[in-house]
Structure 1
Amino acid sequence: MEVDRVQAIASLSTNVDTIPSEFIRSENEQPAITTLHGVVLEVPVIDLSHSDEENLVKLIAEAAQNWGLFQVVNHGIPDEAISKLIEVGKEFFELPKEEKEVIAKTPESGIEGYGTSLQKEIDGKKGWVDHLFHKIWPPPVINHKYWPKNPPSYREANEKYAEKLREVSDKLFKYLSLGVGLEGHEMKAAVGGDDLIYLMKINYYPPCPRPDLALGVVAHTDMSSLTILVPNEVQGLQVFRDGYWYDVKYIPNALIIHIGDQIEILSNGKYKAVLHRTTVNKEKTRMSWPVFLEPPPEHEVGPISKLVNEENPSKYKTKKYKDYVYCKLNKLPQ
C-alpha cells in the first residue's frame, strides 16, 4: 500500500504557504499560540564525570522528581560516536524513497522499520515526521533486516553507540535507584535487568511551511523506563511546565534524559514522566535519535514493594509491559 511520507509532502510544499489540513493542530495545540515565546527553559545539566557519587545521586533524583528531564555531559560516549550516529542516520533519510521503503514497516514487523504514523491520533491528525525504529540491544532481540544496509557504515555506527550507551544507562539506573533509597541494582532489575530492550528511533522532521500550525510529535510521556536522546542542532523539543510549553535549551554533545512512564510507576510516583512534544522548523530539517529503554513485553512492571506502605499506598497497577503499551497506544485507561 502506498503511504504518503511527510518527507515527500514537504518536498512538494517548498514554495507554498499551506500544509494539508490533517497536519493543522487545534488551537489549544498550535505552537504559535501555546508556546511561551522568548524564554528558553534551562533544564538541569548534570556532569556524570563528577567524583562525588552522593551528590550525583542527589542531583539526578531531584531532576527526576521536579522535572522528569535532564541533560548529562561528560557521559563517556565519545563525540565521534555521536557524530557518526548522526551522520549515518541523516544519510539514510537522504536516500531515494524506494531504498527506504525496502525496510518499511509491515503488519508483521510490529514497531520496527521505516514508517510515518505511530499511534491513534485524535480526529485523524498527523505529526510532521517520518521515523525509523529498530532494536539495538540485547543481541537475541536484534533483527538486522530493519537496519539500513545503506550507508554501509550504518551498522557499525549503531553498534558502537549502543555499546557506550549501555554504560551510561547502567549508571543512570543505579543513581535513580539510590535516589529513592533502594540498592543500586534494584531499579534496573525491576524493568527487566539484562533483558531490557534498547529501541532506537530516528525522527526526521522535514522543513514545514507552517511551523506555527503543525507539530512533529504531539504532547506525550514516553512509555519506556528511560529515554536517552541525541538531537541535531535544530531546536524542537518542548516541555510542559507550570501551564506553558517551553523550548528546551540543548547543549552540544549532551544526552537528553527523559523519565518515562515505567520509572514513574516503579518509583510509585516519586519520579515523574515528562510531558513533552516536538515543534518543526520552516527552513531546516530537525532530526533526533531517542533510544527507549523498555522492559521485555512479558515482563510485569508495578511499584517496587519497598516503596509502598500505608502512608504511600500503591498508585499504579502492576501489569505486563505489552499490556501497558497496548492501552497507551489505543488511548485506553491503564
Structure 2
Amino acid sequence: MASPLHLDGSDVNNNSSIKDLENIVEDVEIPVIDFSLLTEGTPDQRYLVVQELAKACEDWGFFVLVNHGVPDKLRNALMDTFKGFFNLPPEDKQDSADTHAMNPIRYGTSFNAKVDDNKYWREYLKVMTHPEFHCPTKPPQFREELKEYSACIRELGKKLLGGIWEGLGLDNNYMREALNLGNCFQIVVGNHYAPCPQPEKAMGLPPHSDHGLISILYQNDVDGLEVQHDGKWVRVKPLPNSYLINTGDQMEIVSNGKYKSIVHRAAVNEKRARMSIVTVTGPSLDTTVVAAPQLVSGESPATFRGMKYGEFMEYQQGHGLQEKSVLKLLRL
C-alpha cells in the first residue's frame, strides 16, 4: 500500500510532548479475561471472572479478551477486505471522503481535517453499522462480511457489558433499558498505518479516549497501540487470537467515575504496516447518559452532568482529539 501522507512539515505530528518516547514501558502484565468462563462457566467460575473484570476496568480501563468465540475466518476475511478498500484507486475512496463528523461512512486521514493542526500517519474508514447498517459498495464482498462481523461483535459486546454491570452491582436488564441497548450505536473503524520513514516525528493517532461504552479492537501482528497507565505509556503486545478491550467516556459517566475511560494512542514504525479494526459500542444516540442512580449518594455525588450520547459524539468527532476534553466539559 502507498503511504497515505507525504512526509513534509504539515503531514507529521512532531509534538514531543505527545510522542514522549522516553516514557514507554513494555512487559507489563495486562489483565486477561476469559470470555468463555463469563458466558459458559460454572457459577463459581463466572463469579471469579466478574470480579476480575471489575478489577481490570477499575485499575486499567483496559484488558485482553481471550476465548471470545469470534471465528478467525470471519475476522481475517474482514481484515483482508479493509485492506482491499485501502488499496482502491484514490477516486474510489474519495466517494467516502470525510465531509461531516456524523456521516455514516467516512474515509480520511486526519481525525478531522477541518480542525486538526497536524495530520496523522494513517488512513481510516469509519462505518456505522447499528441501529442502521451502512457499508461502502467496494470491494463487492464488503457488505456481507461487515454485516456478519458487526452482528457477532455486537452480541459479544452486550454480554461483556452484562458482566461489567454485574461487577458494578447493577442489574443487566435495567441497564439495557436505561441505555436503550436494543438500539445501541455501533461503529466499525478500519485503520491502516503505513510504514513511516521518520516514525520519531509522526503519530498514527494522538492521545485520546473513545466516546462509547466499550471499544473492541482486533489488529494484525504489528505492535503500535500504547495505553496510559499509572502515569506511563504501556506498549501493548496482544496475545494471539485475542481482542483488546477498553472502556470509553460513556462508561466513565455511567459508573460515576469508578471506571475511567482509558487514554491511548497509536504509534507507527518504519518497516511494516499496521492494520486494526475497532468496534465502538455505545448507548442509543438519543439516550441522555447519566450516572447509574445506584452509584450516586451523598458520599458519592454525581460526577458528570447528563448529555445525549449523539450530541457528545458529534462534539468529540467535530473537534480535534485532545485526550478526554469532552468529559472535562461535563464534569460537575
CA distance, structure 2, for counterparts of residue 149 and residue 184 of structure 1: 37
Deviation at 1:214, TM superposition (A): 1.2
Cα drift, residue 8 of structure 1: 4.0
**Structure 1 Cα separation of the partners of residues 178 and 101 of structure 2:** 29
Q: Given residue 260 of structure 2, which amino acid in structure 1 is its aligned partner?
A: K
- Judge conservation of contact 1:72–1:254 (CA < 8 Å) in 2: yes
d(CA) in 1 for partners of 2:12, 2:160: 36
TM-score, normalising length: structure 2: 0.88
Q: Give the CA deviation at 1:22.
A: 4.3
Structure 2 distance, partners of 1:93, 1:152, is 14
The count of aligned residue pairs is 316
Match of 2:49 among 56, 72, 77: 56
Among 4, 7, 15, the residue aligned to 2:3: 7
Q: Which runs of 5+ in 1 are unaligned?
A: 1-5, 14-18
Alignment check: 8 A CA contact 1:239 1:274 kept: yes
Residue 86 in structure 1 maps to residue 79 in structure 2: yes
Aligned partner of residue 188 in structure 1, secondary structure: helix
Q: Distance in 2 between matches of 1:306 and 1:67?
A: 23
SS in 2 for 1:106: coil
| Corresponding position: 1:72 with 2:72 | no
Question: Secondary structure at the residue paired with 2:304?
Answer: coil
Partner SS for 1:7: coil
Per the alignment, residue 190 of structure 1 pairs with: 178
1:142 paired to 2:140 = no
Q: In the alignment, is residue 30 of structure 1 matched against residue 38 of structure 2?
A: no
Deviation at 1:109, TM superposition (A): 6.1
The reply on whether 1:262 has 2:255 as its aligned counterpart is no
- 97-106 or 172-181: bigger deviation: 97-106
Contact 1:177–1:185 under 8 Å retained in 2? no
Residues 173 and 187 in structure 1, CA contact (< 8 A), matched pair in contact too: no
CA distance in 1, matches of 2:303, 2:113: 26
Deviation at 1:130, TM superposition (A): 1.5
Distance 1:315 1:109 in 2: 27
For structure 2, list consecutive stretches of 5 or more residues without a partner in the other structure: 320-324
Map of 1:1-334 to 2, 5 A cutoff? 7-10=3-6, 19-36=8-25, 39-50=26-37, 51=41, 52-107=45-100, 110=103, 112-119=105-112, 124-138=117-131, 141-143=132-134, 147-329=135-317, 330=319, 333-334=329-330
- Between 1:41-50 and 1:172-181, the stretch displaced more is 41-50
Q: TM-score, normalised by structure 1?
A: 0.88
The 3 A distance-change label for structure 1 pair 233 and 108 is closer
Secondary structure of 1:101's aligned partner: helix
The code of the aligned residue for 2:111 comes to L
| Aligned mates of 1:31, 1:284 — CA distance in 2 | 22
CA contact (8 A) 2:4 2:122 kept: no
Question: How far off is 1:266 after superposition?
Answer: 0.3
CA 1:109–1:186 in structure 2 vs 1: closer, same or farther (change >3 Å)? closer
Deviation by residue 1:206-265 (Cα, 9 ceiling, x = unmatched): 111111121111001111111111111110000111222121111122111110010111
1:132, distance to aligned residue in structure 2 (A)? 0.6
Give the SS at the match of 2:111. Answer: coil
Contact 2:111–2:120 (Cα < 8 Å) also in 1: no
Sequence identity (%): 33
Q: Which moved more, 1:90-99 or 1:173-182?
A: 90-99
Closer, same or farther: CA 226–8 of 1 in aligned 2, 3 Å:
closer
Q: In 2, are the aligned partners of 1:133 and 1:201 still within 8 Å (CA)?
A: yes
Q: Give the AA of the match of 2:9.
A: P
CA offsets 1:102-153 (integer angstroms, 9 cap, x no match): 2223349636321122248987122211111111223xx223xxx2322222
> Which one-letter code corresponds to 1:188 in the other structure?
R
Partner of 2:322: none
Cα distance in 2 between the residues matched to 1:233 and 1:60:
25
- Aligned residues of 2:32 and 2:64 also touching (Cα < 8 A): yes
Deviation at 1:193, TM superposition (A): 1.6
Select between 174-183 and 322-331 the one with higher mean Cα deviation: 322-331
Contact 1:32 1:213 in 2 (8 A): no
